[in-house]
Structure 1
Amino acid sequence: MASKFETFSALHVPGDPVILYNIWDVGSARAVTAAGAKALATGSHPVGDASGFGDAQQVPLDFVFDNAGRIVDAVDLPLTVDFESAYSTDPEEGGANVARLKETGAVGCNFEDQVIGGEGLHPLDLQVQRIAAIRSAVGGDFFINARTDLFLKTQTYDDALIDQVVERGKAFADAGASGFFVPRLSDPAQIERVVREVSLPLNVIAFPGAPDKKVWADAGVARISHGPFPHRALMAKLTEMAREAIG
């Protein structure tokens, strides 16, 4: 029987992407499981909003681990956790934090390259060291979804930016990443180039106004996340329902 790690990794098929409708707690995990999901993924923003701590590594580590463990215990699907920047800029400490996350039963995590609470992205050489340290700490089965926030830090989505995306993707692969996540990358032609030049399965995020998922699948995407948008839509609906009841 395949392990949860193997099952999760095998879902990343270019052209037939796994859909991750991001969750934040046991209740949302059970709801998405009932909808027919093949795997589950937390989003740092919805976890932060639902818990009241906020995003950008404001959720205490113990809460992150406890939340992940409760979800793993409540459902049978593999769970990956949005672990932001591993709660440390130090490679070894970040690796140790991800190892603790693996102990909860999670099969993978997102790991981003933006400077939390600062400006811009971590230098590529440092980010490569950080990914390598995580891989060393967690072993070969854990799915490290290495994320670059290049698209989130600019308004100019030209070929020069894609050059940087490809450079980071190749370096992340060499450092031991399992997948490559580029939030806000959406143009099919640019996606096709990244898929062609970076060996890792590509993850993009669905957002209001994004291309149809079939367009992305045809371009070679292997994973589509939904980020904070499900939680935001649900909270907007809750506010509307409450307004109707109160009014």
Structure 2
Amino acid sequence: MTATPAATTRFAALHHRPGHPLLLPNAWDHASAAALAAAGHLAIGTTSLGVAAAAGLPDGAAATRAETVRLARRLGRDGFLLSVDAESGFSDDPSEVAALAVELVQAGVVGINLEDGRPDGGLTPSDLHAAKVAAVKAAVPELFVNARTDTYWCGHDDSGSDGPGPETLRRLAAYQEAGADGVFVPGLAGPAAIGRLVGGLSVPLNILWTPTGPGLAELAGLGVARVSLGSLLYRSALAAAVGTAAAVASGGPVGPVPGYADVQALSGR
């Protein structure tokens, strides 16, 4: 089911509500996405770590293109707005990244996340990542492209506590110039740095929520447009599964958990 113009417009509009950032939870399979949608979330992202780990594959290594497209095709048939974490596009050829974007839009996807981090801790050259962004926007201009820089994630930012450093700013400027609809700086958590960055951008800023960083209300006050949960929900689910097994083994309390019928209902049957 190809994403409709109304859906892509609606998703973009969720990034332009001052004081009300889009809280984007990240799913890893149909049940997790359906449960989040049933809880009232209008838009749902995918988590590349969750998709990769569920398939027994490494994250960030361009190993899960097939799994990512397969999941997008399944989730794109549901009624929520879907944004896909596509790592670095699973290729360093901008035309191949654009072809992936076309497949995703045809599956019903309204947004894509493209990162410049590499598995070895390095960064894709900014001109190459910008070329990927430009190729995607040329192929499917309606798709919301969230261009992510991993300068903080990979330790390449030389900022102080009051704002991002030159490398982060240079990359974000290049990605905006290439046509990115939004930018994402995971690892950036200092309120002063976030506020300063928001003031210098021409597109919405996405921040990754962390337990030690600002809460949703504070991020809203700083002007952040989108708050992602990344792999947090997937990792929490793993912890809950192991903890539940341990509780049964020790005779401790378990629950509450969804019932069999509740989970079965998520399949739409």
Alpha-carbon separation, structure 1, partners of 2:5 and 2:97: 28
Distance 1:142 1:70, change over 3 A: same
Alpha-carbon separation, structure 2, partners of 1:3 and 1:82: 21
Q: Which protein is richer in helix relative to its size?
A: 1
Deviations 1:125-148 (A, max 9, x none): 22221211111122x210000000
Alpha-carbon separation, structure 1, partners of 2:101 and 2:22: 23
SS at match of 1:87: coil
Structure 2 partner of 1:16: 20
* 1:174-213 superposed matches below 5 A: 174-213=177-216
Larger Rg: 2
SS at match of 2:113: strand
Distance 1:119 1:212, change over 3 A: closer
* 1:70-219 superposed matches below 5 A: 70-73=74-77, 75-115=78-118, 117-138=119-140, 140-154=141-155, 157-158=159-160, 161-219=164-222
Give 1:92 shift: 1.5
The match for 2:58 among 54, 58, 63 is 54
Across the aligned residues of Structure 1 and Structure 2, the Cα RMSD in angstroms comes to 1.9
SS at match of 1:153: coil
Are 2:28 and 2:51, in contact at CA under 8 Å, matched by a contact in 1?
Answer: yes
- Unaligned 5+ segments in structure 1 are none
Structure 2 partner of 1:228: 231
Deviations 1:49-94 (A, max 9, x none): 2222231245432221111111122x20110000000011111122
Give 1:101 shift: 1.9
Give 1:119 shift: 4.0
- Unaligned 5+ segments in structure 2 are 251-269
State, as a whole percentage, how many aligned pairs show the same letter: 37
Are 1:11 and 1:18, in contact at CA under 8 Å, matched by a contact in 2?
Answer: yes
Are 2:26 and 2:47, in contact at CA under 8 Å, matched by a contact in 1?
Answer: yes
Are 1:113 and 1:149, in contact at CA under 8 Å, matched by a contact in 2?
Answer: yes
Distance 1:104 1:39, change over 3 A: same
TM-score, normalised with respect to structure 2? 0.85
Q: Which moved more, 1:232-241 or 1:58-67?
A: 58-67
Give 1:162 shift: 2.9
Structure 1 partner of 2:258: none
Alpha-carbon separation, structure 2, partners of 1:242 and 1:202: 39
Alpha-carbon separation, structure 2, partners of 1:4 and 1:72: 11
SS at match of 2:88: coil
Give 1:157 shift: 4.1
SS at match of 1:224: strand
Alpha-carbon separation, structure 1, partners of 2:164 and 2:201: 15
Matched residue pairs, number?
A: 244
